[in-house]
Amino acid sequence: MKKYAAEFFGTFWLVLGGCGSAVLAAAFPELGIGFVGVALAFGLTVLTMAFAIGHISGCHLNPAVSIGLWAGGRFPARELVSYIIAQVIGAIAAGGVLYLIASGKAGFDLAGGFASNGYGVHSPGGYSLFAALICEVVMTMIFLLVIMGATDKRVTPGFAPLAIGLCLTLIHLISIPVTNTSVNPARSTGVAIFAGGWAIGQLWLFWIAPIVGGILGALIYRFIGNTKA
């Protein structure tokens, strides 16, 4: 249960920190942090939680990561469902807290998307469904490749959180204009539940694409990282 609690609080922090920066601070009058600030916020949530709970649960914070690590032979199948449930509940709880904070400002409107992920007219840059699909698959694939490599037993221990956090930052710098960056079904669900409407209707993509990408990335590392072959 401690592992699942760690995943709950870790994913809670990822969504509150990352999506919170997008909703509350990205376009703040004159001092907005913009895309770069939001990207850094997501990276920092993973970096800080990796140090805080990595030794407890592995700090997955993401169903695509858990499934990818299973595909890569690093995580037992028997714990997958429990991890994913904890992650999604943590994300929704964070979405709820963020909603309570954001709705305290006059003029707050969910029509802005509430940091939800989208494609087509709901993509920040107007990118198509196909572009969003490719982007999410490839970005999550690279994310898992970095995670698998950084946590390999042959690597000097202690630096994995830096590599993983910086990788997530870079992923956001690349893909925020395309989909608002998911690479994490729990993160997408946590805010889509509150945004409703189109965000729920497009949520399927941000489950399927990250999971496919996560499995691909893990399998690629399993191949290139296998020195016995």
- At 104, which helix (H) or strand (E)? none
Dihedral of alpha carbons 141, 120, 173, 62, sign = negative
Asked, for residue 43, whether it belongs to a domain, the answer is yes
User: Can you give the CATH number for the domain in which 19 is found?
Assistant: 1.20.1080.10
What is the number of domains present in the chain?
1
Asked, for residue 229, whether it belongs to a domain, the answer is no
Instruction: Decide: helix, strand or coil at residue 107.
Output: coil
Residues in the chain, total: 229
Task: Report pLDDT for 133.
Answer: 98
Question: What is the distance of C-alpha 58 from the center of its chain?
Answer: 15
Average pLDDT value for residue range 137-161: 94
Asked, for residue 53, whether it belongs to a domain, the answer is yes
Task: Report pLDDT for 229.
Answer: 52
Task: Report pLDDT for 27.
Answer: 77
Task: Name the residue with tokens 């997958």.
Answer: 80
Alpha helices in the chain (DSSP H): 2-20, 34-57, 63-71, 80-102, 129-150, 160-179, 185-195, 198-201, 205-224
Asked, for residue 64, whether it belongs to a domain, the answer is yes
Least confident of 58-72, 122-136, 148-162: 148-162
Give the separation between CA 91 and CA 88, rounded to whole angstroms. Answer: 5
Range(s) of the domain holding residue 120: 2-224
Asked, for residue 216, whether it belongs to a domain, the answer is yes
Enter the tokens of residue 70.
């299973």
Per-residue pLDDT tens digits for 193-209: 999 999 999 999 999 99
With contact defined as beta carbons under 8 Å apart, do 171 and 142 qualify? yes
Give the separation between CA 149 and CA 170, rounded to whole angstroms. Answer: 17
Residue 94 amino acid letter: A
For residue 158, the number of C-alpha atoms closer than 13 Å in the C-beta half-sphere is: 1
- 156 compared with 56, residue with greater pLDDT: 56
